[in-house]
Amino acid sequence: MKKVLLILFAISLVFFAVGMAQNVVNPNTLVEEIIGPIDSLDPAWSYDTASGEVIWQLYDNLIQYDGTSTTKFLPMLSTNVPSLSDGTILDNGKTYVFHIRQNVYFHNGDILTPQDVVYSLERAVIFDRSGGPSWMLAGPLFPMIDGQYVTSIVQVVAQELGLSNPLNYSSLSSLGIFENGTKNPTNDKYKQALIDTFNLLAKDFEIKGNDVIIHLPQPYPPFLEILSHGSNISAILDEKWCADQKAWNGLADDWWLYHNPTHAEDPLLSIENGTGPYAINYMTPQREISFVRFDKYWAGEAPTKYAVIKYVNEFTTRLLDLQSGEADTIYVPVQYLTEVENNKNIRVIKDLPTLNVDNIYFTWNINTQGNSYVGSGKLDGNGIPSDFFSNEDVRKAFSYLFPYKQFIQQGWNNMAMQPNSAIIEGLPGYDPNLPKYEQNFQKATEYFKKAYNGEIWQKGFKFTAVYNTGNSIRELALQALANDARILNPKFQINVVGETWSSFLADYLAGRLPMYMMGWQADYPDPYDFADAYYASTGAYGSTLGASYTSWAKTNMDPLVNSLMTTVNPAQRAEIAKQIAMLDHENALYIWTDQPYGYWVERTWVKGWYWNAMRPGIDFYSLSK
């Protein structure tokens, strides 16, 4: 009788387990629903987290972060992490030896070679699209010019040509070496300078057997971080496949033809061939991307066969999908967390450390041609002039106008802190005791009345502030600023609009956005990454603010930003970071709205999720259900 009971009990357990398994919706597919579609699948182009999340699934780097750590590494396409102890970092930090993993397949069946590694890093440098991430590799791989790290291969060409102030050049066309409207050098001297520049880059790389040896012209402390997974610019591509797609053939004598393409000209914009754990199954523009497991992945098959990222702007739709199980994880605006926290089928993890910051930008020189965002384009009460935000009093007035505490309370439910500069908490050199702006209507009024000899206060202004559609936090921040501006002076009119991510990026790069909100996620966990992006005249953000800013930054910011990299002593670096933060505050360069705390929302059946502040989004390879 006991035996019969045991058998019946065992059978009941089986049926119970089957019943539980049936509650898991689509057990072989992971679905994430977020806002904002990707910009590009090309690692050399991508410089946004939406694209970065997709590229994370498709491409591998030489090394990767160790789980949740942002300071420790594991091998990836390299079987070693270079170190002093094993002799693979040499010459006082200038030489790195990588043992390239063998028998690694690209998604099309090609086998990874050391030459693919060299090609990928060289292409990342010569690609150099406007506002893109190529600076991260140009800095360490080219010799310094006039005591400063370069940010573009263009500056090295200018140096080869013997032009004065080579760091001032930002495009090949500005060098005056091409026939009008073409990329054809006008003479052999110019062509040779272009070839010599590439050869200078190529000299950094040596292939010895299955090793790739990288010889830096000078030490570059965060070099390993730049090469790590999550830094799209250092993802490894298939040279033969890229050449077949007309994405550079790897030769020195025409590289400039592949330099700084337009978005539409990039041949790898919407195709991929990585070595990652997933390949693209299909893409529906603006709606979703479906991934399929790559069965020949060198580290073993992913636990789940399919993964999908859906772009759903409406939170209510995302919530319903999460509750029904059609989505396994969704983006939940922080103000709606209470709607998922008390559901027994949903897991919410909060108070996670981040290396992210959000802020409001001032474009110092706005591109006003055909631009409705500046109204009349004049200081007549119906618009603003191109150089409106070049005025320090204007920037200080807006900095005192923003409701920082109220925004963090209402917008973030206190799950964020107010930064005092781009050197945020979690970075070496962060100082919580430095001053930061607080909302002060009296001070805001004082500076508005001071600006333009009182014209602003008397006439008022009208312009449009822009955020990326679906980001309700950024919409709230800009709307709060617009509302308080109208309260302060009814003649102050700020129209707040949302743009799709692709349109937003295009307008931002073209300098058409007078005021906008965006953020920065660390490329690597070092203060130089943030300081260079925000403050350097050639930085990812600084370079887009206009000629007035870049001119000011060359004198006031560039030497300090550069010294962050050349200085090794931690205490001295901290002091430099403090000086940079103070200059930011004194000149009201940005409105620093929030450094959010991280959080994660998933169905309880999801297994394997982990947090890393350097990862752009989800890692499907670690997940199952």
pLDDT in tens, 574-597: 999 999 999 999 999 999 999 999
Q: What residues contact residue 36 under an 8 Å CB cut-off, 6+ apart?
A: 50, 311, 468, 469, 470, 471, 500, 501
At 625 the pLDDT is 96
At 36 the pLDDT is 81
Residue intervals of the chain classified under CATH 3.40.190.10 are 29-36+277-353+601-622
What CATH topology corresponds to 29-36+277-353+601-622? D-Maltodextrin-Binding Protein; domain 2 (3.40.190)
In the structure, what pLDDT confidence band is assigned to residue 570 with cuts at 50, 70 and 90?
confident
At 371 the pLDDT is 97
Per-residue pLDDT reduced to its tens digit, 316-350? 999 999 999 999 999 998 889 999 999 999 999 99
Structure tokens at 56: 């994370």
CATH of 370-596, one of 3.50.50.60, 3.10.530.10, 3.10.105.10, 3.40.50.2300: 3.10.105.10
| pLDDT score of 481 more than 50 | yes
> Contact at 8 Å (CB) between 58 and 274?
yes
Strands 288-293 and 278-284: antiparallel
Read off the pLDDT of each residue in 28-51 and give the average, rounded to a whole number.
95
What is the sign of the dihedral through the CA atoms of 530, 535, 537 and 542?
positive
Structure tokens at 359: 């802020």
Read off the pLDDT of each residue in 241-252 and give the average, rounded to a whole number.
97
In the structure, what pLDDT confidence band is assigned to residue 364 with cuts at 50, 70 and 90?
very high
Mean pLDDT of all residues in the chain? 94
User: What is the strand order of the sheet 329-330 is part of?
Assistant: 278-284, 288-293, 306-311, 29-34, 329-330, 598-603, 346-352
How many beta carbons lie within 10 A of that of residue 236, not counting itself?
Answer: 27
Rounded to 5 degrees, what are φ and ψ at 214?
-110, 120
At 470 the pLDDT is 86
In the structure, what pLDDT confidence band is assigned to residue 10 with cuts at 50, 70 and 90?
very low
Residue intervals of the chain classified under CATH 3.10.105.10 are 370-596
- Whole-angstrom Cα distance, residue 92 to residue 84? 9
The CA–CA distances, whole Å, from 515 to 389, 466, 520, 550 equal 9, 7, 16, 17
At 326 the pLDDT is 97
Residue intervals of the chain classified under CATH 3.90.76.10 are 67-240+248-258
The CA–CA distances, whole Å, from 5 to 8, 11, 13, 14 equal 5, 10, 12, 14
Does the pTM surpass 0.85? The reply is: no
Read off the pLDDT of each residue in 406-413 and give the average, rounded to a whole number.
94
Per-residue pLDDT reduced to its tens digit, 139-165? 999 999 988 899 999 999 999 999 999
Architecture of domain 67-240+248-258: Alpha-Beta Complex (3.90)
At 201 the pLDDT is 98
